[in-house]
């Protein structure tokens, strides 16, 4: 059964299922409450133990379940729920309409990266770097800034900025969602004029180091063509995330 949950519900820190998606849901719950836009639901077994979780922030939804028995009801709920972009796991994806994109899920298996000089952390600079690199649409700058800023302010995210020769940020990375066991790495980008000079690798290393020093396993999901970049830097594929997008104006599917 699917039940609404308060952001402070401790079960949101123990959501089973896909490790990356569980970390996202846990971090969003930590940043929730107090007027924050997050909404949360738990897929519960008969005894009240969580079998999965769902989080919605604006038009973004993350969902995972740990058991096939919970997948059917969770998929029905997701079809009725309003969203623009959905990231889910291999149990739920086949039960949802549409043609999703596959993103390899990877975990870090290398040594502690060397420490690198960093600029003072700035969420806005990290998001601007992603826009300048073409990794984020300019129209999404304010929305993504507000979201990442709230997570960072509430201790559920961190940003890392690598300086160029003149000291200004040349590349960025973030622990976009910091759970109690894992840190999800994202927002990796380098300014176009600094590509091919090791700036992205340095920013990635800083985020990995930040996770490991905090006692969290670094994880990420990436496009298929970027997987070799991450493998060469100590990551190994551990699973897959499936992403669905609804067209503008498309409402929830009829049950």
CATH of 107-240, one of 3.40.630.30, 3.30.70.3270, 1.10.10.10, 3.40.50.300: 3.40.630.30
User: 116 pLDDT band (50/70/90 cuts)?
Assistant: very high
3-class secondary-structure state, position 58: coil
The C-alpha atoms of residue 22 and residue 181 are separated, in whole angstroms, by: 10
Q: How many other C-beta atoms can be found within 10 angstroms of the C-beta atom of residue 45?
A: 15
pTM of the full structure: 0.94
What are the tens digits of pLDDT across the range 157-212?
Answer: 999 999 998 899 999 999 999 999 999 999 999 999 988 889 999 999 999 999 99
Using CA of residue 230, residue 233, residue 237, residue 238, what is the dihedral sign? Answer: negative
What are the tens digits of pLDDT across the range 117-149?
Answer: 999 999 999 999 999 999 999 999 999 999 999
The domain locations on the chain are 2-97, 107-240
The C-alpha atoms of residue 183 and residue 108 are separated, in whole angstroms, by: 10
| 242 bridge partner residues | 88, 102
pLDDT, residue 34, reads 72
Question: Any alpha helices (H) in 171-250, and if so which ranges?
Answer: 199-213, 227-231
The C-alpha atoms of residue 168 and residue 235 are separated, in whole angstroms, by: 28
Q: What is the mean pLDDT of the chain?
A: 94
With DSSP H G I counted as helix, E B as strand and the rest as coil, what are the percentages for the chain, rounded to 5? 35, 30, 35
What are the tens digits of pLDDT across the range 150-169?
Answer: 999 999 999 999 999 889 99
pLDDT, residue 247, reads 66
């Amino acid at each position: 059964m699917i039940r609404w949950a308060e952001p402070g519900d401790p079960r949101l820190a123990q959501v089973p299922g896909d490790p990356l998606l569980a970390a996202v849901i846990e971090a969003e719950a930590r940043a929730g409450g107090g007027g924050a836009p997050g909404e949360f639901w738990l897929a519960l077994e008969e005894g009240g133990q969580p079998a999965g979780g769902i989080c919605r922030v604006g038009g973004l939804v993350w969902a995972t379940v740990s058991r096939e028995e919970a997948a059917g009801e969770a998929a029905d709920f997701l079809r009725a729920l309003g969203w623009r972009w959905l990231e889910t796991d291999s149990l739920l994806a086949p039960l949802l309409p549409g043609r999703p994109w596959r993103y390899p899920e990877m975990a870090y298996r290398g040594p502690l990266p060397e420490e690198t000089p960093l600029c003072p952390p700035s969420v806005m600079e990290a998001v601007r770097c992603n826009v300048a690199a073409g990794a984020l649409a300019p129209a999404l700058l304010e929305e993504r800034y507000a979201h990442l800023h709230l997570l960072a302010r509430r201790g559920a995210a961190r940003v890392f900025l690598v300086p160029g020769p003149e000291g200004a940020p040349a590349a960025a990375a973030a622990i976009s969602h910091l759970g109690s066991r894992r840190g999800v790495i994202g927002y990796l980008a380098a300014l176009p004029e600094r590509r091919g000079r090791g700036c992205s690798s340095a920013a990635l290393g800083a985020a990995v180091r930040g996770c490991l020093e905090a006692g969290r396993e670094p994880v990420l999901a990436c496009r298929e063509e970027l997987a070799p970049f991450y493998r060469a830097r100590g990551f190994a594929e551990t699973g897959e995330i499936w992403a669905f997008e609804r067209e503008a104006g498309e409402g929830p599917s009829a049950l």
